[in-house]
Amino acid sequence: MQSAATVFEAPRSENSLSWARHSWRGGELAERLRNAPRVNLGSWPTPIQRVTRRGRCDLLVKRDDLSGFGRGGAKTRKLSHLLGHVRTNAHGELLAVAGNVTNLAFDLLQASGAFGLRTRLFIVNDPPATPGERARIFAGVLGSIELLTCGRAEAAAVVLRAYAAAWHAGRKPFLALPGAFHPACVIGNACGFLEMVEQLESQGAPLPRTVFVTAATGTTVAGFLLAADVLRAAGGPPIRVIGVQVHPGRIRLQTLALTRWTERFLGTNHRTPVHPTSFVPSRERFAHFGPGVPRLCLQVEQELGLRLDPIFGGKTWQAMQADVAANAPDDRPLLYWHCGYTPEWKTLCASGAGRGEVTS
């Protein structure tokens, strides 16, 4: 594709979510999102990259991979609000669970350490990898994590015993479910969506007609759907949110559960619609991809300077391209939400966990 890319961002302000100054205010629910507790992680707002193709800007890229904390990505927003919630509620210990393919876990250790929060991170052997492969994946943090080799049921028992021990020790533990499955993290992503709206509006640029984002547990998609519905209810243009599934499971039901939990967490009667059309489903095993996805990632890096991995971002970009091919052009651009990069994908591919055995 013939393309040219430029980067722009809205002027920085003390409150990067000051979109209430503009044409749509969002009401009480938007205020509750803005006022949710958080800690200071990252540098906001992250820039938006405009891609001009065939003489017109038809693609925007929200560069959360440039959030400036840890590995970058939308997980910085999740952690900022998750730790804000943990600290506000005086939890003395954080217990978290992740698998072998994770960016969140690396940044969680860095973030909790920065705020002096006692943390135990349990790594489940999923997708399966050998001890040597896991040692390479988690090099540099092996002394700070607990690698579990048992099955999921036994792993759950280990974590629950650790939770009970912390509780009996008087540390008031908080258990973070895999993928940061919690309303505080949904709120963090909703605030990111509103940040994007503010940036584009301050530039006088049209808002995207569709936002494509990777969906593993549904946390990011739930936040985007919530914020898009707030915008629509306040008189803004409709923005379609498409979550591209990269982890097997009932992604819509997970997102729906998270959305309703978050609405209850915020104390609102607002009900955000979560339609099946908001997802590109997948039945693949996690971390599996066809040979075309790494080639696409390489092409995007060469032409636009964006690093994508085939486990997460590459599949989302591929789904976005399919949508472009199937639908007529529109005056409003598409937006790809860059959630970060997973450097371990090559190790997983070499081990067989990410081999292109199943095409995506």
Give per-residue pLDDT as tens, 201-234: 999 999 999 999 999 889 999 999 999 999 999 8
Question: Taking the mean position of all CA atoms in its chain, how far away is CA 248?
Answer: 16
- What's the CATH number of domain 76-176, 3.30.1490.20, 3.40.109.10, 3.40.50.1100, 3.30.420.40? 3.40.50.1100
Residue keyed to tokens 């005086």: 90
Residue keyed to tokens 């002027």: 11
User: Rounded to an integer, what distance in angstroms lies between the CA atom of residue 345 and that of residue 325?
Assistant: 28
Instruction: Work out the pLDDT band at 306, boundaries 50, 70, 90.
Output: very high
Mean pLDDT for the stretch of residues 186-214: 95
Listed by start position, the domains of the chain span 3-73+182-351, 76-176
Whether the pLDDT of residue 22 is over 50: the answer is: no
User: Rounded to an integer, what distance in angstroms lies between the CA atom of residue 147 and that of residue 135?
Assistant: 9
Whether the pLDDT of residue 121 is over 90: the answer is: yes
- Exposure string of 99-125, with b = 16+ CB inside 10 Å and e = fewer, is bbbbbbbbbbbebbeeeebebbbbbbb
Please give the pLDDT value at position 289.
84
Supply φ then ψ for residue 105, to 5 degrees.
Answer: -60, -40
Mean pLDDT for the stretch of residues 12-29: 50
H/E segment holding residue 8: strand 3-8
Q: Residues 243-286: pLDDT tens digits?
A: 999 877 899 999 999 999 999 999 999 999 999 999 998 766 77
Q: If you average pLDDT over each of 160-169, 176-185, 309-318, which comes out highest?
A: 160-169
Mean pLDDT for the stretch of residues 4-24: 43
Q: Residues 132-177: pLDDT tens digits?
A: 989 988 988 988 999 999 888 899 999 999 999 999 999 999 999 8
Please give the pLDDT value at position 283.
65
Whether the pLDDT of residue 13 is over 50: the answer is: no
Strand-pair partners of 98: 123
Helices (H) and strands (E) in the chain, counts: 11, 11
The CATH number of 3-73+182-351 is: 3.40.50.1100
pTM of the predicted protein model: 0.87
Supply φ then ψ for residue 232, to 5 degrees.
Answer: -65, -45
Whether the pLDDT of residue 36 is over 70: the answer is: yes
Strands (E), 64-136: 93-98, 118-123
Mean pLDDT for the stretch of residues 74-93: 94
Please give the pLDDT value at position 21.
44
